[in-house]
Amino acid sequence: MDLLRSLPLGLYLEQPITWLHKLDPRVKFIWLMSFLTTYIFASTWWRVILVILLIVTTLISGIPRRVWRQQMGYLLSICLLVLIIASLSPDGMGIDYQPRLPVNQELVNAPSSNNPTNGILPIYNPQEYNYVLFANGPVKITRHSFDLAVRLSTIFFTLLYSTNLYLLTTAPEEITAGIESLMQPLRRLKVPVTEIALTLTLSLRFIPLVLEEIQNLVRSVMTRAINWKKIGLKGAAKVWMLIAERLLQNLLLRAEQMANGIIVRGFTSPDQHQVKWHHLRFKTFDWMAILVLILFWGMRLTIGNKMN
């Protein structure tokens, strides 16, 4: 079991360097925020388009299949399960649906020869509408329940996978440098932009340490060959409580070691100890990505609310 390989959430893929890696971190961050904000008050079809766009971007990005196959497979499986459960769940409307149109649409009173309009014309509906999409015994899927299911499953996939794809192709130093550059106007409001960027850098660097500590503790439990059936439920709960306590102690120890390393190096303030790892500058490919982003927002504003 290797969590750093089988579950690389929030980890940066150093090799190979794809075209997503070469994009400016500010452009990628704006794209990420666009995915997360265009979802709000959008139509169902637009939310499905966002999922398809993320999948297509992954396929054409050049990221090795071994990296995204397991993550995307698990996430799509969970989203499909959410879609099925939410579709089969009651829609909460509490209504007994009846058809709008009468069963017999023939003329009630035939028009006479003297007055051709004397009578009721048949009702014709060019588009057949059914509120209940599927009904078989206790299983019933309505339009409202299916729409809620699509919304839940798509927002789950969009939120998790777009963030993971951003972290996968952007180094932590690039992320903090990009966010710090975008937050520069807040300096006029005396917002500690550099301190926030430093805290974010340390947080991102701490994610692999957490996975490593969890992996070591799980391996230590596996090597002891504990008979879980023999110790029972109460004993298993005690073991996992001890593991959680040990995990917290190890993480606090790692945090203390990191703080001591910063103090030993004479760190006093982020403004006086800035190390520029990346020089942010827009290139031709970045301007192309911004142009596509403008088209993306144009499509969202024009057809994102109208598609049904």
Report yes or no on 37 lying in a domain. yes
Q: What is the pTM of this model?
A: 0.70
Please report the pLDDT score of residue 9 as a whole number: 56
Question: 3-class SS at 6?
Answer: helix
Please report the pLDDT score of residue 306 as a whole number: 62
Report yes or no on 227 lying in a domain. no
CA distances, 89 to each of 44, 75, 199 (Å): 18, 21, 43
Which residue range(s) make up the domain with 18?
7-93+130-171+282-308
Report yes or no on 165 lying in a domain. yes
Residue-wise pLDDT for 154-189, tens only, equals 998 998 889 888 888 888 888 888 888 888 888 888
Spatial contact of 247 and 217, defined as CB atoms under 8 Å apart: yes
Please report the pLDDT score of residue 108 as a whole number: 45
State how far the Cα of 135 lies from the Cα of 120, in Å rounded to an integer: 33
Q: How many folded domains does the chain comprise?
A: 1
Please report the pLDDT score of residue 302 as a whole number: 85
State how far the Cα of 198 lies from the Cα of 272, in Å rounded to an integer: 12
Please report the pLDDT score of residue 1 as a whole number: 46
CA distances, 57 to each of 52, 165, 166 (Å): 9, 10, 12
Please report the pLDDT score of residue 275 as a whole number: 58
Q: Any idea what DSSP says for residue 47? A: H
How big is the chain, counted in residues? 308
Residues of the chain with pLDDT under 50: 1, 105-110, 117-121
Report yes or no on 150 lying in a domain. yes
Please report the pLDDT score of residue 107 as a whole number: 43
Alpha helices, H only, the chain: 3-6, 19-22, 25-37, 44-60, 65-88, 143-168, 172-182, 193-223, 228-264, 284-303
Report yes or no on 136 lying in a domain. yes
